[in-house]
Structure 1
């Protein structure tokens, strides 16, 4: 992609996503995520109405009178975007490829973070860590992230979500809010997700295409696996073939949601031909 074309696309995404962040997501983002980062401030004597779960039993025993711990909201959070750049993101049958939707969602979250004085960083992953952008602030940093979202070419095409989560757990020492943005075409990430969510506040955003859920009857077609590169001929006019395709999607989707439930992960699913704004707003409000 030539530099002029890249800059044009960066500018288009900046205008759209910054507007969404400023006009729609600002209050919801702050309420949904800022209150999650609390640091210890001091202790004081217990007052009527205080939460008994905040009683400091050591200080209470020392003075023979109840004392409670006081926490204050962290003024600055670190937000990490874990972006799936495997081959399957290049699929799309409606108005946008999955990678285009992923780029816009990531940009909206990045502008929301900066607007709330938070640092934003990115981990690009396939079946390995493809690129790490350390958390920083500022518009220049955001535009660098958007450029990478548009133009980055991964070395590998298969997916390993667990590898990205392990990297997050080890690389980011301070508790952060981490958005995993992927189609979640992987089923071996439950344990790394559980560990990551114990240290950080992990949120899952699943991006998928309508044609991944059902197959139209269009006769004999040649399909290519975007990650393995393997080709296969499929008779889509066969009802059993279409039913098997749909069952496979349902089973994988239910397995992914089951993993999210067991790990206590807030999540939402976003289809490429639907409005991601509604899905994100619903997720944000659910966390308030």
Structure 2
């Protein structure tokens, strides 16, 4: 008996404090239903196997429409023109390649979670799913996995080996996380975005997966430069406890050396806590709005596979 999709993907949902390599490998079954670029035209001029909305003299016929001034006379459909006595031209859809580049945050701030899984684990599952979906579309896949004091570049290639290398690096960096407190000054997000500009080739689709806790105007400037030559999508991951403390229990925070009780039952503190999160998210949202960049936001207790399918699910083309 075939299980419903919701049942088959539930057991692949991210859980726990660290990811498992076997789970990242099995996400290829989830990615079969995804089309990353169904809505957006490619900017790359490299030929490839993924059809886009850029039109030209390719090998894939799309439609016939009325001839317009400036159209190439070599594309005139003489049969339709003779039948209708009105000039018509053929339109072809060119096949283009769009390399996919995933920048994944595995810094100490990501090592936190109160429900279902840690933010760092959610980020690895989202990134792995994107990588498998890109491979299914015959695109090249590369990445940049970064921790507090190190990073690893994965050169974009159109092969399963490139995806496997990315998954191994995700697993490795994820399992290095032991504390939500960085031992030294961590790499800033601004530096990572600058490195992404160096690694991601023009025409690439860049997905940045992070909690964006240190996002500022300098990061916005780096995004502006990155978005000039690539298609950037930001994926914000967070834990519900970061948004709202809730409950009437006494909470205690620690920096690894000292402990401090929180006035969680105080209404003013609750409001200030929630407002701080909302302001940081609004700063990120406003930057994306100014730069016209897509921003997706997912919590650690979300049904992530369902949400990704809603956002990137393959759409059947309606034929007249």
TM-score greater than 0.5 by the shorter chain:
yes
Counterparts of 1:221 and 1:133 in 2: how far apart (Å)? Answer: 40
- Does residue 1:82 correspond to 2:81, yes or no? no
- Does residue 1:218 correspond to 2:240, yes or no? no
Counterparts of 2:67 and 2:127 in 1: how far apart (Å)? Answer: 39
- Would you say the 8 A contact 1:179–1:204 is kept in 2? yes
| Number of residue pairs the alignment of both structures matches | 258
Counterparts of 1:172 and 1:99 in 2: how far apart (Å)? Answer: 22
Measured at CA, do residues 178 and 128 of structure 1 come closer, stay the same or move farther in structure 2, by a change above 3 Å? Answer: farther
Counterparts of 1:276 and 1:129 in 2: how far apart (Å)? Answer: 28
Larger Rg: 2
Measured at CA, do residues 180 and 267 of structure 1 come closer, stay the same or move farther in structure 2, by a change above 3 Å? Answer: same
Give the equivalent residue in structure 1 for 2:237. 207
Q: Does the residue aligned with 2:244 lie in a helix, a strand or coil?
A: coil
Give the equivalent residue in structure 2 for 1:12. 23
- Does residue 1:29 correspond to 2:36, yes or no? yes
Give 1:146 shift: 1.2
Which is worse superposed, 153-162 or 214-223?
153-162
Specify every segment of 5 or more residues in structure 1 that has no aligned partner in the other structure, as ranges.
1-7, 57-68
Q: Alignment RMSD, CA only?
A: 3.4
Q: Deviations over 1:240-272 (max 9, x none)?
A: 222110110111111111111111111211111
- Would you say the 8 A contact 2:152–2:169 is kept in 1? no
The TM-score normalised by the length of structure 2 is 0.70
Counterparts of 2:193 and 2:136 in 1: how far apart (Å)? Answer: 26
Counterparts of 1:263 and 1:51 in 2: how far apart (Å)? Answer: 34
Q: Which has the higher helix share?
A: 1
Give 1:106 shift: 0.8
Q: Deviations over 1:108-162 (max 9, x none)?
A: 1111111111111111235676221111232233222112111223886635222
- Does residue 1:95 correspond to 2:95, yes or no? no
Give 1:51 shift: 7.9
Give the equivalent residue in structure 2 for 1:61. none
Give the equivalent residue in structure 2 for 1:59. none
Counterparts of 1:286 and 1:267 in 2: how far apart (Å)? Answer: 20
Counterparts of 1:268 and 1:262 in 2: how far apart (Å)? Answer: 16
Give 1:100 shift: 1.1
Give 1:14 shift: 1.1
Which is worse superposed, 178-187 or 232-241?
232-241
Measured at CA, do residues 208 and 126 of structure 1 come closer, stay the same or move farther in structure 2, by a change above 3 Å? Answer: same
- Would you say the 8 A contact 1:92–1:209 is kept in 2? yes
1:24-173 to structure 2, matched below 5 A, reads 24-25=33-34, 28-32=35-39, 35-37=41-43, 39=45, 49=66, 72-74=94-96, 76-126=97-147, 130-152=151-173, 153=176, 158=186, 160-173=188-201
Give the equivalent residue in structure 1 for 2:4. none
Counterparts of 1:249 and 1:78 in 2: how far apart (Å)? Answer: 34
1:187-198 to structure 2, matched below 5 A, reads 187-188=215-216, 189-198=219-228
Q: Does the residue aligned with 1:281 lie in a helix, a strand or coil?
A: helix
Measured at CA, do residues 157 and 91 of structure 1 come closer, stay the same or move farther in structure 2, by a change above 3 Å? Answer: farther
Which is worse superposed, 251-260 or 216-225?
216-225
Specify every segment of 5 or more residues in structure 2 that has no aligned partner in the other structure, as ranges.
1-18, 46-54, 59-63, 73-90, 178-182
- Does residue 1:250 correspond to 2:260, yes or no? no
- Would you say the 8 A contact 2:38–2:314 is kept in 1? no
